[in-house]
Structures are given as C-alpha cells and as structure tokens.
C-alpha cells in the first residue's frame, strides 16, 4: 500500500514540475565523494521523522556543505517524503503585476497541501537560500506580502514540510526575527569541516593527482580566503590547480597552489 502511495506522490511531483517549469525541480543526488557530516545528516533526518512541524533550516557559512547535507539526508532518509526543490528567484521571474507572485506561490502550496492531506506519502520542499523567502515580493507600498508570510499557515497546520539552507548572518537577520516562524523552522547548525575530513574529501575527488603535502597546502591556503569555508574552498583550489596541470599534460607543481589561492583572494 505504501509503495502505491509513493508512486502516486512521484507521479504528482512530476506533474507539479511540469506545471511550474523552472520553479520546481527534483532535488539532485548527493555528490559521490562528499564524505563526513553524519551528525548533521542525522539531525535533518530526525526532523523528517517527527509527527508534527517536520521542518528545519541548515545554517552555516558559504561553502560549508549545507546543500550536500540536505541532499544526503533526503537520499538516505527512511521518510516516505518526495522532495522538490523550490527556486524562489524563478518564482518571482516575470511577475509584473501586483498579485501574480502571490497567485503562483499559493497555487504551489495549495496543490501540495491538498495532495498531502489525502496521501500517506508526502510532497515536501527544499529551499536553498531560504532567507530569500523574507525579502522576495515584500513591498508594503503595494500591500504585497513576503513568501515567508504566505508560508506561515501551511507550516502551522503541518500541511507542507520545508527543509531550508542559509548562512548564519542571514539566519540571524531574518529567521530569528520572525517569532511566528522561528519555532517552526528549528536550526541545524553546521561548523566548518575539519582539516582531516577536508583532506579525505580532496583525496576522494583527486586520488593520486595530488600528493599529501600538496593537499595540506591547499587546506592551509584556503584559510586565507575569507568568503568561502571548507571543504568547498580547499576543494576549489585543488580543482583549479589539477585542471591547469591536466590541460598542460603534466603533474601538479606545488608552487602553483599558492598562485591559484592568491588569485581567489583577489576576487574578494
């Protein structure tokens, strides 16, 4: 019986994607070589196993692996939810008249809530950069409301489940100030990945392309780049230097790692 419900949910999810092309999409599979984060993955899954208010927000710095945590949690969860990714920016694209955005948002939430009320398997949403729900469409002059305000009744009633991701700064600025949603969107805080786990990921991605000392150099130099966190920052340095050496048909030279890191620092 449950297998039938899940198949029904998947079929309905495909129809939703077709009806809201670009706004809704399947949640992608987790990266094969993304290791660690078992504690945070379990915390997200425990939210999905709850009977009521099964929502959470993964909070951490840029490049820390928030989206990968959510993807892995969804992919390995015992929950029967079928997850769709909601692109909030695309949701607003093309809305030139007052009320268009609200109509789009309401149509999506109402369709999901109605389906969930009559199915054992549920349709749920993943919202990356979830803080944008508070900023998009908000215009007091024209009496428009934010997407977050539109979500409140659906989350209060448990009609829709949301897993989000955002930075600590945006979480404090928007979620913490919204008392009506704060208790319905509990945080899962994610710290920067340790050097040891970051090294394991780099090895998993690049195998023998980088020596241990070169991996350590990537990690050490990544700490000087302030706009990204590990593992993403060290991975990006390693990826760029390996791509350069591959294009030139040679082995990686350690001196190039610093050159790449310096270039990335200049961007900020």
pLDDT at 55 over 90: yes
Encode pLDDT of 16-31 as tens digits.
999 999 999 999 899 8
pLDDT at 118 over 60: yes
pLDDT at 143 over 60: no
Q: Give the pTM.
A: 0.87
Mean pLDDT of the chain: 89
Same domain, 98 and 177: yes
Same domain, 105 and 13: yes
Same domain, 80 and 143: yes
Look at the block and give the residue holding tokens 């780049």: 225
Which pLDDT score, from 0 to 100, does residue 141 have?
Answer: 42
Lowest mean pLDDT among 84-93, 189-198, 245-254: 84-93
Q: Which residue has the higher pLDDT, 218 or 267?
A: 218
Which pLDDT score, from 0 to 100, does residue 1 have?
Answer: 58
Confidence at 146, pLDDT banded by 50, 70, 90? confident
Encode pLDDT of 73-113 as tens digits.
999 999 889 999 999 888 887 776 667 788 888 999 999 99
Q: Is 38 exposed, middle or buried (0-12, 13-18, 19+ CB in 10 A)?
A: exposed
The CATH number linked to 95 is 3.40.50.300
- Structural domain tally of the chain? 2
Same domain, 56 and 167: yes
pLDDT at 5 over 90: no
Same domain, 156 and 43: yes
Q: Which of 154, 189, 224 is the last residue of a domain?
A: 189
Count of beta carbons in the 10 Å neighbourhood of residue 227 = 12
pLDDT at 148 over 80: yes
Q: For residue 199, give its domain range.
A: 195-267
Same domain, 169 and 238: no
Q: Is 207 exposed, middle or buried (0-12, 13-18, 19+ CB in 10 A)?
A: exposed
pLDDT at 14 over 90: yes
Same domain, 131 and 28: yes
The CATH number linked to 213 is 1.10.8
Q: Which of 189, 215, 234 is the last residue of a domain?
A: 189
CB 213 within 8 A of CB 254: yes
What secondary structure does DSSP assign to the chain, as a single string?
A: -HHHHHHHHHHHHHHHHHHTBTTEEEPPPPPTT----HHHHHHHHHHHT-SS---EEEE--TTS-HHHHHHHHHHT-S--PEEEEE-HHHHHTT--STTHHHHHHHHHHHHHHHHHHT-SS-EEEEEETTTHHHHTT-BGGGTB--HHHHHHHHHHTT-S-EEEEE-HHHIIIIITT-HHHHTTS-EEE-PPPPHHHHHHHHHHHHGGGS-HHHHHHHHHHHTT-TT--TTHHHHHHHHHHHHHHHHTTSPPPHHHHHHHHHHHHHH-
Average pLDDT estimate for 140-144: 49
| Among 177, 238, 236, 184, residue whose Cα is nearest residue 208 | 238
Q: How many percent of the chain have pLDDT more than 90? A: 63
Lowest mean pLDDT among 84-93, 107-116, 163-172, 253-262: 84-93
β-pairing verdict for 56-59 and 187-189: parallel
Q: Which residue has the higher pLDDT, 136 or 81?
A: 81
Same domain, 25 and 136: yes
């Amino acid at each position: 019986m449950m297998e039938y419900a899940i198949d029904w949910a998947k079929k309905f999810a495909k129809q939703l994607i077709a009806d809201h092309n670009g706004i809704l999409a399947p949640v992608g599979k987790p990266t094969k070589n993304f290791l660690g984060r078992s504690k945070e993955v379990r915390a997200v899954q425990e939210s999905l196993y709850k009977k009521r208010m099964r929502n959470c927000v993964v909070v951490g710095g840029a490049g820390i692996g928030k989206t990968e945590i959510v993807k892995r949690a969804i992919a390995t969860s015992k929950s029967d939810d079928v997850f769709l990714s909601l692109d909030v920016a695309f949701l607003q694209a093309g809305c030139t008249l007052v009320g268009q955005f609200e109509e789009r948002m309401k149509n999506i939430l109402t369709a999901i809530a109605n389906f969930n009320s009559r199915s054992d398997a549920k349709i749920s949403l993943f919202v990356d950069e979830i803080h944008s729900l508070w900023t998009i469409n908000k215009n007091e002059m024209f009496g428009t409301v934010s997407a977050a305000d539109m979500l409140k009744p659906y989350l209060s009633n448990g009609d829709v489940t949301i897993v989000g991701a955002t930075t600590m700064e945006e979480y404090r600025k928007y979620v913490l100030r919204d008392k009506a949603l704060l208790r319905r969107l509990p945080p899962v805080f994610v710290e920067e990945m340790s050097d040891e786990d970051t090294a394991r990921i780099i090895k998993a991605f690049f195998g023998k392309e980088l020596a241990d000392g070169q991996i350590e150099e990537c990690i050490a130099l990544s700490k000087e780049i302030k706009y990204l966190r590990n593992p993403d920052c060290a991975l990006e340095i390693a990826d760029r230097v390996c791509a350069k050496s591959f294009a030139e048909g040679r082995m990686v030279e350690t001196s190039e790692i610093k050159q790449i890191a310096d270039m990335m620092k200049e961007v900020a």
